[in-house]
Amino acid sequence: MTTRYLMRLGKTPFDVVDPFLTLDRNLLGTNSGNLIYGAVAHKLFSTKDTEVDANYYRINAGMAAAVNDEYDGFILPLANAFRPEFEGQLLRTTQFLERLTIPFVMLSGGAQLPLDGDPAALKAMEPTVKRFARAVLNGSSALSVRGEMTADYLVSLGFKDVVVVGCPSLALHGPGHRIEVPAALEPGAPIAYNVETKDPFGGDVVEDAERHYAATYIAQEHGTLELMLWASDPYAATDQRLPLERSHPQFTGARAELFIDAYPWLDRLSAMSFSFGARAHGNIAAILAGTPAVMLTHDSRTLELARHHGIPSLVRGTDPDPTSVQELYSHADFTEFNRGHAERFETLSRFIHDNGFEHIFDPGQESALAAYEQRVEETDFQAAVRPAWIEDPPATVQRHAVLQDRESRRKKEQAELRRTTAARAAKSNDRITELGRRLDKAEKSLAEAAERRVATAESRAAKAEKRARSMEKKLATVARQAGDAYHRAERAVRIPTRLKEAVSRGRREG
């Protein structure tokens, strides 16, 4: 009998979709890093006689009944789920989990915090986070999280059942994965780098990479995919050395790449000598490919992952800003990663087992593992996306860019309208539910009060009847006593008459 699991994914690793549909349907979840941990989660739970389907990021309370009927379990891989922009999705997920009757497990969530771990920005969404955590704990042994900073945050909210498992993406190859670092990185070597587009930094080291190495920008953001397909300008570049606008040599030279499938991304990075940047999964992808990488940590997400897994890193604002690739490469020390990887894998494995699931690296799953890896080898994935407009006339490129910018604004406005409407609907439903609870409570209180009043009235009536019966007895006694007194009085009245008659008889006789 086949076991069926539903998993929160934009798509399964074997859903091969062209770049334009990927962009239009947002199958990356705005960031291709989701492909990496999604692919690994899918592999982990693809055990013998098991099918794992994607929910394509669709989740709401109304789906729960059908999921309960059609599936044997629900798997919830998460990334930085505790952030204000994700609150609506987190609430819908909570409402869905509250209605599940099948086994489910959350696979590592994370909080979006600054480097100092201050959760002030999450204060407004605390009720949603608490409700989500309670829903998870109602069906799972613990809240699994990506690192100690997220664990501390949840503990501060009053939740003690928290286990740090790191990012499941590093379990792709099981417990035996290692990284060997060559002694030197030769000038001109092929290297990859990635950039944080929301808060870009690292211009010096990117400039050095472009000048002295065969550097490839491996982009991840939804906005950059749009740029590469439609020549739009989704970012405002303050440092022209960073690849944020289509005029950058990485785009005009068609060197930049973005992957819409996980496994080709890993294959590409396996050909690189080094990788660096601020994107967590951009560097994790390199590590999974066997390529040394250094992460430029800039928030709690990147910092706690680097610390937990022993990934070489530099902390923005604390460590000196790197100015050269060679300087970064000197920090590529994987001693801790290699030493503790098997132990960290065992922590994740134990958590999965504690929740009643198996994984593909368990003993007895060798045939499932071989079949899965064979399927990966046989799948014809999409090639890397590169700028599609290089050979188009400038006027055409500009026209496409303007039209796409308009379309993007329209989609953002519609998405915001949907989010606002959904949030209002959710709040209305919550208010209706609360009013229903209050009405039920009021009706119960009224019914109890009425019962108490009836009981009191019946008690008083019973006492009155008892008093009436007592008074009737007393009246009967009084009436009887009065009758007796009357008869005695009558007898008393007749006594003088009899005496008089007796005297009169005595005189006559005398």
Facing residues of 145 across strands?
109, 164
Q: Which residues of 249-279 are buried (b: 16+ CB within 10 A; e: fewer)?
A: ebbeeebbbbbbbbbbbbebbeebbbbbbbb
CA distance 185 to 208: 13
* Percent over 90 (pLDDT), the chain: 75
87 C-beta neighbours (distance < 10 Å), count: 20
- Clarify whether residues 213 and 308 are in a common domain: yes
The whole-number pLDDT of residue 134 equals 98
The whole-number pLDDT of residue 486 equals 76
Per-residue pLDDT tens for 450-480?
888 888 888 888 888 888 788 888 878 877 8
pLDDT at 499 over 70: no
Per the domain annotation, does 153 fall within a domain? yes
* Percent over 70 (pLDDT), the chain: 96
pLDDT at 443 over 70: yes
Question: Which of 380, 407, 438 represents a domain boundary (last residue)?
Answer: 380
The whole-number pLDDT of residue 510 equals 63
Per the domain annotation, does 295 fall within a domain? yes
3-state secondary structure of 216: strand
- Clarify whether residues 345 and 323 are in a common domain: no
Per the domain annotation, does 297 fall within a domain? yes
pLDDT at 435 over 90: no
CB 6 within 8 A of CB 53: yes
CATH number at 233 reads 3.40.50
Q: How many domains does the chain have?
A: 2
Phi/psi zone of residue 356: left (φ > 0), alpha (ψ -120 to 50 degrees), beta? left
Per the domain annotation, does 502 fall within a domain? no
- Clarify whether residues 262 and 363 are in a common domain: no
Per the domain annotation, does 432 fall within a domain? no
pLDDT at 350 over 80: yes
- Clarify whether residues 212 and 66 are in a common domain: no
User: Which of the four pLDDT bands, split at 50, 70 and 90, describes residue 20?
Assistant: very high
CA distance 82 to 36: 20
Per the domain annotation, does 312 fall within a domain? yes
Structural domain boundaries, residue 96: 3-175+339-380
The whole-number pLDDT of residue 467 equals 85
Question: Which of 282, 304, 335 represents a domain boundary (last residue)?
Answer: 335
pLDDT at 195 over 90: yes
Per the domain annotation, does 418 fall within a domain? no
- Clarify whether residues 22 and 120 are in a common domain: yes
- Clarify whether residues 327 and 350 are in a common domain: no
CB 40 within 8 A of CB 6: no
Instruction: Give the global pTM.
Output: 0.81
CB 320 within 8 A of CB 348: no
Which residues lie below 8 Å from residue 35, measured CB to CB, with a gap of 6+? 10, 13, 28, 259, 260, 261, 262, 265
Mean pLDDT of the chain: 92
